[in-house]
Amino acid sequence: MQQYILALDQGTTSSRAILFDRQGQVHATAQREYPQHFPQPGWVEHDALDIWNSQLACAREVLRQAGVSAEQVTGIGIANQRETTLVWDRASGAPIGRAIVWQDRRTAEACDRLRGEGKAELVQSRTGLELDAYFSATKLQWLLDHVPGARVRAERGELAFGTVDSWLVFKLCGRHVTDASNAARTMLFNIHTMRWDEDLLDLFGIPPSLLPEVVASSGAVGAADEQWFGRRIPIAGIAGDQQAATFGQACHRRGMVKNTYGTGCFMLMHAGERPAVSHNRLLSTVGWKIDGRTDYALEGSVFMGGATVQWLRDGLGIIRQSGEVEALALSVPDSGGVMLVPAFVGLGAPHWDPYARGTIVGMTRGTTAGHIARAAVEAIAYQSAELLAAMQKDADCAVSEVRADGGAARNDMLMQFQADLLKVPVIRPQVTETTALGAAYLAGLALGFWRTQEEIAAQWRVERRFEPQMTSARRDELMARWARAVEHAKSWAVPESA
């Protein structure tokens, strides 16, 4: 009987479930979008039960569509949107409020205060992260301080905190755990000692009883209850979505780079077995922990990647489906001098400006929807080009290629423009669902479905290679123009009291 690994890929705007066979090929896929909540400017929330219900429905649907029984599923791997912060009642499992999403900027001023108190160096030295509202610590602090009774209940040990992986595992099997890659994104975890950091818990006022147990990224943590799929299925792989994608892209050696073009864009370089130190405002983070060994990564985070295209669809209404953006962008030969800086929720690396806001510059009476669409697509590439430039400085090594994945990686125009700006080939693999694939590989390794990382790396295949074609002079001109546009976007929403 054919066996599969079930990957749960819980993303920012949708939940997906994918079945992978032993060759690492997609056997079946199911996907469901779920509501986004924007109660105030800069605030982004999810209903925790929407996350769970959409993910469970996808998992059941993919088995039904494929005609695969639960007996044919060797195990489950989980990849998840990172930093998004949930708190629930340990006894009832009921969330105490909506989840605060990684894009949410409500705690930017709290981070400013801590930075003013000189705490940024402590945070960076212990966690490898910037002191920023992007991460979970200040989101969790906000929930404890603003949900009535939450802090008292937390002190009594009645509540549980988790990122989305923790929430899914809790719902599936009742355990309260997270893996090292997700723990490293909370701003509460020491990536050198690989433990929750007492000084940081004190700094943010977080009771230790809230925290999940930290487990390996590849290893059995429990089994999904029989009620969900008709039999108990081992849960054996957990990783934050970007670390999972790095593993799925077979970037298993130091210096290898992947870039995921999803809701945001996330570029990771394998940094080896020791945390890298960034001098260019990138993040040093845990890649994964397997068999007692921790692999680290350098990361650059762009908050608005594919979400910029969603804005063209849902906000401006100039496309009906995201897939239409490439044709609209190609309806003009270039952007006509238009630059779109999609700082809708601030700017991530290497700027880290929570007060930047979306900006369009260079428009004339001749500007059309095509020019704006092209500027939006090109903005994704400009932001990623900034990341690679910073990454090569930090790593002190030349990058020979970038492996691309995620939904927007299917856009040929974007991939070619990206290669032109990066000055290195951009390679799209045959399987672009590498986030889910990485989660599957991590689970399969623990369960013997795949035996070694070398066996996994041998399954990686090129679908298309995009070679740089732009002259250096033209590239430099465009990057300089982009830098000018970014300066216009910065600090736009600084509070009047600042």
Q: Considering just the CA atoms, what is the radius of gyration of the chain in Å?
A: 21
Alpha-carbon gap, residue 143 to 364, rounded angstroms: 45
**Mean pLDDT of all residues in 337-365:** 92
Residue 256 confidence (pLDDT): 92
Is 461 annotated in a binding site? The answer is no
Alpha-carbon gap, residue 327 to 329, rounded angstroms: 5
Cβ-Cβ contacts under 8 Å for 235 (sequence gap 6 or more): 75, 76, 77, 78, 169, 172, 173, 220, 221, 222, 223, 224, 443
Is 21 annotated in a binding site? The answer is no
Is 310 annotated in a binding site? The answer is yes
> H or E segment at 394?
helix 369-395
Is 83 annotated in a binding site? The answer is yes
Is 105 annotated in a binding site? The answer is no
The Cα angle at residue 39 between residues 37 and 44, in degrees rounded to 5: 50
Alpha-carbon gap, residue 280 to 302, rounded angstroms: 15
Do residues 31 and 14 lie in contact, with contact meaning Cβ atoms separated by under 8 Å?
yes
Is 320 annotated in a binding site? The answer is no
pLDDT more than 90, % of the chain: 81
Tens of pLDDT, residues 74-123: 999 999 999 999 999 999 999 999 999 998 989 999 999 999 999 999 99
Residue 497 confidence (pLDDT): 60
Do residues 447 and 236 lie in contact, with contact meaning Cβ atoms separated by under 8 Å?
yes
Q: Which amino acid, 250?
A: A
Q: What backbone phi and psi angles, to 5 degrees, belong to 432?
A: -90, -5
Weakest-pLDDT range from 22-26, 150-154, 288-292, 348-352: 348-352
Structure tokens at 104: 């949410």
pLDDT at 336 over 70: yes
Is 407 annotated in a binding site? The answer is yes
Domains of the chain: 4-241 (3.30.420.40)
Is 336 annotated in a binding site? The answer is no
Structure tokens at 2: 């054919």
Comparing CA positions, the residue from 63, 56, 50, 48 lying closest to residue 95 is: 48
Q: What backbone phi and psi angles, to 5 degrees, belong to 219?
A: 165, 145
